[in-house]
Amino acid sequence: MRAVRGFDEQLTPEELALIRGLSSPFRIQEFLDTIPYSVEEIYRSPLRVLRDRQAHCFDGALFAAAALRRLGYPPLILELVPNDRDDEHLLALYRCDGLWGAVGQSNFVGLRFREPLYRTLRELALSYFEQYFNVQREKTLRGYRKPLDLRVFDGFDWMASNDHLETIAARLDRMRPVPLVKPDMEARLAPVDERTYRGGLLGADERGLYRPPSGHG
């Protein structure tokens, strides 16, 4: 794969050894779990994540997609879409024996790794529902966007260059969400309980938490 070879050629021997050690989706997740959640409003390419050792969910998903690509998986990302009182969340997808799993970076404990157990993308997305909440303890996940194959952006050298990452973000924004929650379901949602809330925010950097406007206007 030309894009992978081109990426590897830009790595130092130490960086190449590290990324070669990411030999499974779980190993990729382990690496992301060792680096801080980025609170900066910038996008980082996989190469820059490797060098800066920090990432938010967008950066982490691209890094995971690049690392999965080196293992022979297509570089697919999927965006989880909340209501207007929370941030979107991005994941890298992988598939084993026809079943979907995911790798991700998040400020929340429950919005990261998923084993390849899910028959459909809807099932996978719904597995994040109870852990997808804001600081007002509202369950905010409402839908997802279908997978985006990052190979269409190889001409921008997205694995190593920061120059066109906004183009990827803009493409995601133009994709129509697939709904998960109907209005009557939304009206019945219970608030997040205290233990789930505290557990989900274990180790979170408060600077990176989305804070919705007061009230539900």
Q: What is the pLDDT of residues 4-33, one digit of tens each?
A: 999 999 999 999 999 999 999 999 999 999
Which of the four pLDDT bands, split at 50, 70 and 90, describes residue 217? very low
6 closest CA partner among 34, 61, 45, 58: 45
Q: How many Å apart are CA 118 and CA 126, to the nearest integer?
A: 10
Phi, psi for 102 (deg, rounded to 5): -150, 155
Contacts of 208 (CB under 8 A, 6+ apart): 37, 38, 39, 56, 107
Cα dihedral sign, 161-164-169-171: negative
Q: Is the pLDDT of residue 128 over 90?
A: yes
Report the predicted TM-score, pTM, of the whole model to 2 decimal places.
Answer: 0.96
| pLDDT, the chain, mean | 96
In angstroms, how far apart are the furthest CA atoms of the chain? Answer: 55
Q: What percent of the chain shows pLDDT beyond 70?
A: 99
Instruction: State the pLDDT at residue 215.
Output: 59
